[in-house]
Amino acid sequence: MSDTAKLILGDKTYNLPIITGTENEKAIDITKLRTETSFITLDNGFANTGATESSITFIDGEKSILRYRGIPIEQVAEHSTFVETAYLLIYNHLPNKCELEVFSKSFTEQAMIHEDMKNFFNGYPSGGHPMSILASMVCSLSAYYPELVKPNPSKEEIDLCVVELLSKVRTICAFSYKKSIGEPFIYPRHDLRYVSNFLNMLFSSSNRYYDINPIIVDTLEVLFILHADHEQNCSTSTCRLVGSSWANLFASVSAAICALWGPLHGGANQSVIEMLQSIIADGGDLKKYINKAKDRNDPFRLMGFGHRVYKNYDPRARIIKKKAYEVFNKLGINDPLLDLAVKLEEQVLKDEYFIERKLYPNVDFYSGLIYQAIGIPTKMFPVMFAIGRLPGWIAHWVEMRENPKSRIGRPRQIYIGNNETNYTPIGNR
């Protein structure tokens, strides 16, 4: 194939460079399109637009492939830990023993949040959604740690900011939960590792000792790993876009958390459980809900199905489904919602509407069931997703800031409003 694409506009032909990625993905480089032709491209939802070149994550949605820094997700999920995966995504290689030890140790050192920040939690009404608390608190880190938010940080300053954020987010998430149920905060412990420490802050209380269950720790490690990155999804693109103005890492991640919250993205795990519960409450008639999802005049969608990129089974959903059975068996749980979810999946995968549109269960379809089984309350589900996705947001922010070709993100538009219209005074001045 030629290394240029030809664009014919009227009687002029323009040669546009073709870019090829390491997995042979092709793109037409339109960087100079507007300058040379005065045309722009229009791409609703950016479904065909590459915003950047990136070396972090590779997805082939047709073949169900997901790789972090080249390593298949199945291998990472089976062998790695969340902390090691975070290192892999951010620093572009698996850490050796010493690097991993230093990285893990710095999480323990940075786990506390500024004591004054605790007062900030009190400003929230109890019952407030923990995602709103999380987003504000992460942005507030910029105010409490001003030394970390210089517009042009050095490599060392970025490294420090990265561990501060990864470690403190876990504490903030646990505190947000405690706030939302009106219980006193439990501080991070020096002797516990990342996931165990989080579980302890979540479930211990001043008069109740939480017995850390290794099955639950292992399950959460896997769930966090599976969520750790997914290239240019809505929240990661938000993080990059905000960071492209040289906004600091805390502010950029706070924006990503808000983007993640939406039910079409990371809020879907909460919506799946609510959907399954309402199907049961309504008599368990799956056909009725499948038909509702297919009805163009009904806004209802089957939550946990469909994906912009995967047009075949989401590889993360396959791992999570297996994990769900494993955890339920080991913990001796019999959950009618899991049975309903499996039946729903079976019916959907046979239905012409879903087959035609290549709609399969996504990562969020089974994750909520596991969170529920291990005692995580429904409104914390998107928060769990946020903890998992944090290394990805950070890796992309760092990649963008280190790339000398990065420019501020600023899409164009096609204006379809009024032509020039005179102001008509109504006499208020």
Q: What is the set of active-site residues?
A: 307, 364
Q: How far is the CB of 44 from ligand ACO (least distance, A)?
A: 9
Residue nearest to ligand ACO (CB): 306
| Residue with smaller CB distance to ligand ACO, 295 or 402 | 295
Q: How far is the CB of 384 from ligand ACO (least distance, A)?
A: 12
Phi-psi region of 83 (alpha: psi -120 to 50; beta: other; left: phi over 0): alpha
Token look-up 């909520």 returns 368
Determine the interface stretch with ligand ACO among 67-75, 124-132, 156-164, 354-362 (rule: CB under 6 A). Answer: 354-362
Tell me which residues in 247-286 interact with ligand ACO (CB under 6 A): 264-266, 268
71-72 vs 65-68, strand pairing mode: antiparallel
d(CA 300, CA 234): 21
d(CA 367, CA 381): 9
Is 293 a binder of ligand ACO (CB under 6 A)?
A: yes
Tell me which residues in 3-62 interact with ligand ACO (CB under 6 A): 45
| Residue with smaller CB distance to ligand ACO, 158 or 303 | 303
Q: How far is the CB of 113 from ligand ACO (least distance, A)?
A: 27
Q: How far is the CB of 285 from ligand ACO (least distance, A)?
A: 17
d(CA 65, CA 61): 6
Site size with ligand ACO, rule: CB under 6 A: 19
Q: Is 11 exposed, middle or buried (0-12, 13-18, 19+ CB in 10 A)?
A: exposed
Q: What is the dihedral of CA 47, 387, 225, 311, to 10 degrees?
A: -20
The maximal CA–CA distance of the chain, rounded, in angstroms, is 80
Whether the CB-CB separation of 196 and 217 falls below 8 Å is answered with yes
Tell me which residues in 144-203 interact with ligand ACO (CB under 6 A): none
| Residue with smaller CB distance to ligand ACO, 299 or 404 | 299
Tell me which residues in 356-385 interact with ligand ACO (CB under 6 A): 357, 359, 362-364
Q: How far is the CB of 308 from ligand ACO (least distance, A)?
A: 4
| 166 Cβ contact list (under 8 Å, min separation 6) | 86, 107, 390, 391, 394
Binding string to ligand ACO for residues 304 to 333, with x set by CB under 6 A, is what? xxxxx-------------------------
Give residues in contact with ligand ACO (CB under 6 A).
45, 264-266, 268, 293, 301-308, 357, 359, 362-364
